């Protein structure tokens, strides 16, 4: 299967036109639309912050589980 990358912008009416493909008339194609700009993921909320965990999988200190009284 050949692949051809083309970037385009969706028009305000929701249409998209792809021009200049190196394919002949009548060629069957499969179209997959990928959004180039993705929203920032919240899966890792500390990513890109100055916080660092030297051993993130170590058990917490016992006194850390008790609320201050």
Q: Which residues contact 25 (CB under 8 A, 6 or more apart)?
A: none
Q: What is the C-alpha separation between 17 and 9, in angstroms, rounded? A: 8
pTM of the complete model:
0.44
Q: What is the pLDDT of residues 10-51, one digit of tens each?
A: 999 999 998 888 999 999 999 998 888 766 666 777 777 887
- Alpha carbon distance 11, 13 (integer Å): 5
Concatenating the DSSP letter of every residue in 23-58 gives --TT---------SS-PPP-SSTTTTSS---SSTTS
* pLDDT at residue 68 tops 60: no
Question: What is the distance between the alpha carbons of residues 30 and 44, in angstroms, rounded to a whole number?
Answer: 34
Tokens of 29: 């194609």
Average of pLDDT values for 56-68?
70
Higher model confidence: residue 11 or residue 59?
11
């Amino acid at each position: 299967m050949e692949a051809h990358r083309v970037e385009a912008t969706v028009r305000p009416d929701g249409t998209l036109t792809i021009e200049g493909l190196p394919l002949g008339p009548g060629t069957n194609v499969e179209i997959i639309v990928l959004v180039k700009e993705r929203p920032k993921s919240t899966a890792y909320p500390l990513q890109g912050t100055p916080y660092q965990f030297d051993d993130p999988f170590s058990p917490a200190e016992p006194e850390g589980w008790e609320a201050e009284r």
